[in-house]
Amino acid sequence: MNKKHVFLNEVIAQIKSKEAKKYIASELSFHLKEAKKVWLEKGLTGTEAEEKAVEQMGSPINLGQQLNKLHRPRVDGVLVILLMTIFGLGFLPMFSIGDMGEYLLVSKVIITLISSAAALGMMLMDYRKFKKQGWLFYSIGALILLVLRLFSNITINGLPLLRIGPLTIESIMSLPFFFLAWATFFNNKRLKVWQFIVLFFLPFILFFTVPSISTTYIYTIMVFSMLWWSQFSRKMVLSIWGVFVSCFLFVSIISWKFLGFYQKDRFLAYLNPEKYSDGPGFMIIRMKELLSTAGWFGHPMNKEFIPEAHTNFVFVSFTYYYGWLFAILLVLLLVLFGARIIVISSKIQDSYGKLLLIGAVALYTVQLATNIGMTLGIFPLISMSLPFISYGLMPSLLNASLIGIVLSVYRRKELTGKQIR
């Protein structure tokens, strides 16, 4: 075995992370090769040049120990603490909605455990393995929507679902697959504008015809947020945004007559809730009453009936029972999630990892802003969960998986962002 391989083996023996071993071996081999070229140009033989290159690196044991500290997998403690805190706060609505909350408490525990396991699993998984699987993820997402479009057998709150025994398939299940797919597509420098348009509109049309207005909306915000960080120029991105907004307004006017009556009523009630006070406007008026009477400390002993108090309108029940002081604290914690992901993204140099973080913060933020916004009367009422607080397996699993991917990117940032010198 030559001196180079002996040196590399001694360095790698000090490294504990398997992923870091491969990365460091590759980087050291490259630097040794470059150093060897310099000595060859100075007239040394191949063996002499290699020995000189190895000597320049210094002690392999010291170097290995230093690299082990630098490249050991890391966990973002701030994000983990926030996740645990929000998971804990997610149980509070269960204690304030009476007998129904007690009935759902066991399910909430199971959902939290499954979501925590998903976050942990995604964190331990190397996100770079997804990099070349864009078409696979895209196909899975499209297949879920096609199955729903053709075979849905039940409807809840206007959303079609496919129930097969204990398994329920819904449109939101396709979002994480499209999220991973678009990170791959946007990371590809060869992606053309016409390809982007075709790839975007196929799921968009499927979402719209399922129909699922909320997931169509989330999907669109996610893609166009990631588009800003794609390989396209800023001028091209702004042009695409402008054309899409114009087309969206035109299509919205044309497609109004194709919307379901419940969808039309929800939008009209948003504009004039008093006129629809015996229908969808009732909940808007009711929310205003509950929020205006909540006070700073709420009414924990008052078992007031609030429709969808543990799902879409969980922020209303949370504010009414625990008060505005607690509600503001909750919003601040939820906002910190998004802010922390943005801070982490600024430290990531890997373009694929950065796209994943941008997509994750877009998916998370659109849910948070929309749920709070419709509670305060800023947005029309749609089916939208409050991340980690609303009851439901799929929304919780989606957001936990997003956090897991963020942690996975952070865990490996030293393996993609720095070069060994």
pLDDT in tens, 333-350: 999 989 999 999 988 888
The mean pLDDT value of the chain amounts to 84
Q: What share of the chain is helix, strand, coil (3-state, %, to 5)?
A: 70, 5, 25
CA-to-CA distance for 109 and 404, rounded, in angstroms?
19
Q: How confident is the model at residue 14 (pLDDT cuts 50, 70, 90)?
A: confident
Query: Would you say residue 418 has pLDDT above 50?
Result: no
Q: What is the mean pLDDT of residues 30-40?
A: 78
- Complete DSSP assignment for 354-383: HHHHHHHHHHHHHHHHHHHHHHTTSS----
Show the tokens assigned to 368.
């948070």
User: Residue 135: its pLDDT value, please?
Assistant: 95
The letter for the amino acid at 7 is F
**Residue 181 clears pLDDT 80, i.e. is over it:** yes
d(CA 170, CA 160): 7
End-to-end CA distance of the chain: 25
What are the tens digits of pLDDT across the range 223-236? 999 999 998 888 99
Which amino acid type is present at position 82? L
Does 28 have pLDDT greater than 50?
Answer: yes
Closest residue by Cα to residue 363 from 308, 413, 400: 400
Tokens found for residue 397: 């699993």
Q: Which of 319, 295, 296 minimizes the C-alpha distance to 376?
A: 319
Hey, where are the domains in the chain? 3-71, 77-415
**How do residues 318-336 score in pLDDT, each as one tens digit?**
899 899 999 999 999 999 9
Residue 159's H or E segment, with its range, is strand 159-164
Residue 146 carries which DSSP code?
H
CB 372 within 8 A of CB 89: no
Backbone angles phi, psi at 58, to 5 degrees: 85, -160
Residue 106's pLDDT band, with cuts at 50, 70 and 90, is confident
Closest CA to 117 of 338, 393, 389: 393
